[in-house]
């Protein structure tokens, strides 16, 4: 990609930029969190050689940096008064919804690097807390929330749920899981949150009679949603839950490749399912959009390295090589 990027930029910029610039630019494109974006942009600026030919580029980048820094300060200030603000990070945002004590915080603690309060008294979680869940070569943001059913917090919880990508309903297999699921689903529809990906997970599968209750839960909801059984205490079913979250996030991972080189397999681009080669080009660089002649695809193509046009629909794990005019 470096070679093609350099060719494209050659037409549009009055300068030759070093390979590190394009590496840093790629990192910037992939950054999702504001903090990440700021440090990626700082790195990018440091790669631009200082001479007359780069004056305009450096000025543009510095302007962008100061805008991002201002936004960061603004958000930080408002964050002090709004402890419910959850900044999106990672490939997709997944919220944990459930009644008190169902084990939402335990799920967060088991699947991510976060350290929530876990307690046997109800409503131990008072504010949202997020952590990053690794899945293969990507990370999902899991958001633990206070339990449903409290007038003072339900409004804020519904706002967070509405903005997320996947709702994971955590029900307690030792305490009428079917009724919990039913109440949660009706609450979600009362909030008018539609078209949302929903996953149901029955927690505490280590407790007596949880298996038969899980079977009933699965029988009732299995045809509507993915239903899975876990025990955070015994660490059972956690890998399956990770996979189910990935499968329901409606995203694909796509890798870019420069002509004549190996693909960058450790740094996927994340796209919505159904995205095309053109959508990938838009994510990488506008010059790819303008100057694309065709692309070569490995993975979902009929044969390896098949030439495709910009409307070709990509699949998870495809490798894409852009060829420009
Ligand atoms: N037996 C068993 N107990 C569990 C499991 N997961 C969580 N617990 C216990 O259930 C209780 C509640 O767990 P939390 O993770 O705090 O539940 P929560 O849903 O976050 O609770 P709130 O924040 O109050 O809504 C704690 O005592 C946990 O130790 C499990 O898999 N098996
Ligand atoms: Mg909790």
Q: Is 302 exposed, middle or buried (0-12, 13-18, 19+ CB in 10 A)?
A: exposed
φ, ψ for residue 94, nearest 5 deg: -125, 120
pLDDT score for 4? 36
Same domain for 136 and 31? no
**Whether residue 99 sits in one domain with residue 153:** yes
* φ and ψ of 253, to 5 deg: -105, 130
Overall domain count for the chain:
3
Assign residue 63 the CATH number of its domain: 1.20.58
Same domain, residue pair 148 and 222: yes
User: Structure pTM?
Assistant: 0.80
Note the pLDDT tens digit of each residue in 193-237: 988 899 999 999 999 999 999 999 999 999 999 999 999 999 999
Interacting residues of 197 by C-beta distance below 8 A, sequence separation 6+ = 165, 166, 167, 248, 249, 250
CATH value at residue 113: 3.40.50.300
What digits encode the pLDDT tens for the residues 148-172? 998 888 999 999 999 999 999 999 9
Backbone angles phi, psi at 118, to 5 degrees: -120, 125
Q: Is the pLDDT of residue 16 over 90?
A: no
Residue 233: CB atoms within 10 Å: 14
Q: Given 248, 268, 288, which residue is the final one in a domain?
A: 248
Same domain, 234 and 107: yes
**Residues 109 and 210 placed together within one structural domain of the fold:** yes
Same domain for 221 and 169: yes
pLDDT at 311 over 50: yes
Task: For residue 302, give the CATH number of its domain.
Answer: 3.10.20.30
Element containing residue 169 per DSSP (H, E): strand 166-172
Q: Ligand 1 pocket, 204 CB below 6 A? A: yes
Do both 117 and 216 map to the same domain?
A: yes
**Are 284 and 232 found together in one domain?**
no
As a whole number of angstroms, the distance between CA 234 and CA 205 comes to: 9
Domain end call among 33, 59, 85: 85
Question: Which residue's alpha carbon is nearest to atom 14 within ligand 1?
Answer: 103
Q: Is 285 helix (H, G, I), strand (E, B) or coil?
A: coil
Cα–Cα dist 58/68, whole Å: 15
Q: What Rg do the C-alpha atoms of the chain give, in angstroms? A: 23
Residues 57, 123, single domain; the answer is: no
**DSSP string of 287-321, one letter each residue:** HHHHHEEEEEEESSSSSTTEEE-TTPBP-TTEEEE
Tell which one of 109, 116, 118 to mutate to probe ligand 1, the residue whose CB is within 8 A of the most ligand atoms.
Answer: 118
User: Are 125 and 144 a contacting pair, CB within 8 Å?
Assistant: yes
- Do 230 and 137 fall within a single domain? yes
Query: Which of 132-157 are b and which e, b meaning 16 or more Cβ less than 10 Å from the residue's Cβ?
Result: bbebeebbbbbbbbbbbbeeebbebb
Is 255 in contact with 298 (CB distance < 8 Å)? no
Strand partners, 135: 138
Ligand of minimum distance to the alpha carbon of 205 = 1
Q: Which of 98, 101, 206, 241 to mutate to test the pocket of ligand 1 (most atoms within 8 A of CB)?
A: 101
The mean-pLDDT minimum among 109-113, 146-150, 237-241 falls in 146-150
pLDDT at 79: 58
- Rounded distance, CA 191 to CA 8, Å? 48
Same structural domain, 204 and 266 = no
Task: Evaluate if residue 125 carries a pLDDT over 60.
Answer: yes
Query: What is the per-residue pLDDT for 321?
Result: 96
Ligand lying nearest the CA atom of residue 232: 1
Same domain, yes or no: 217 and 120: yes
Burial 169-188 (b: 16+ CB within 10 A, else e): bbbbbbebbbebbebbbebb
| Residues recorded for the chain | 325
* 197 vs 265, residue with greater confidence: 197
pLDDT band at 267 (very low <50, low <70, confident <90, very high): confident
Residue range(s) defining the domain that contains residue 234: 93-248
């Amino acid at each position: 990609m470096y070679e093609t990027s350099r060719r494209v930029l050659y037409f549009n910029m009055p300068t030759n930029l070093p390979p590190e610039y394009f590496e840093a630019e790629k990192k910037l494109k992939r950054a999702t969190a504001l903090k990440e974006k700021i440090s990626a942009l700082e790195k990018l600026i440091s790669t631009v050689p200082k001479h007359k030919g780069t004056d305009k580029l450096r000025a543009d980048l510095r302007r962008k940096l100061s805008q991002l820094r201002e936004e960061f300060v603004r958000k930080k200030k408002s964050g002090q008064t709004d402890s419910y603000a959850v900044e999106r990070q990672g490939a997709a945002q997944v919220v944990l919804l459930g009644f008190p004590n169902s084990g939402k915080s335990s799920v967060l603690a088991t699947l991510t690097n976060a350290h929530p309060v876990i307690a046997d008294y109800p409503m131990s979680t008072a504010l949202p807390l997020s952590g990053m869940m690794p899945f293969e070569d990507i990370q999902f943001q899991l958001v633990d929330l206070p339990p449903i059913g409290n007038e003072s917090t339900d409004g804020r919880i519904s706002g967070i749920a509405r903005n997320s990508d996947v709702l994971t309903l955590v029900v307690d297999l030792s305490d009428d899981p079917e009724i919990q699921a039913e109440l949660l689903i009706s609450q979600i529809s009362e909030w008018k949150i539609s078209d949302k990906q929903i996953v149901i997970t029955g927690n505490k599968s280590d407790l007596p009679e949880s298996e038969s209750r899980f079977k009933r839960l699965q029988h009732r909801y299995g045809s509507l949603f993915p239903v899975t059984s876990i025990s955070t205490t015994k660490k059972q079913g956690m890998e399956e839950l990770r996979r189910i979250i990935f499968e329901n996030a409606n995203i694909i991972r796509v890798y870019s490749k420069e002509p004549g080189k190996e693909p960058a397999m450790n740094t996927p681009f994340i796209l919505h399912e159904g995205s095309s080669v053109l959508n990938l080009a838009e994510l990488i660089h506008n010059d790819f959009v303008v100057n694309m002649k065709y692309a070569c695809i490995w993975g979902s193509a009929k044969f390896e390295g098949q030439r495709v046009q910009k409307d070709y629909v990509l699949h998870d794990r495809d490798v894409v090589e852009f060829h420009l005019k």
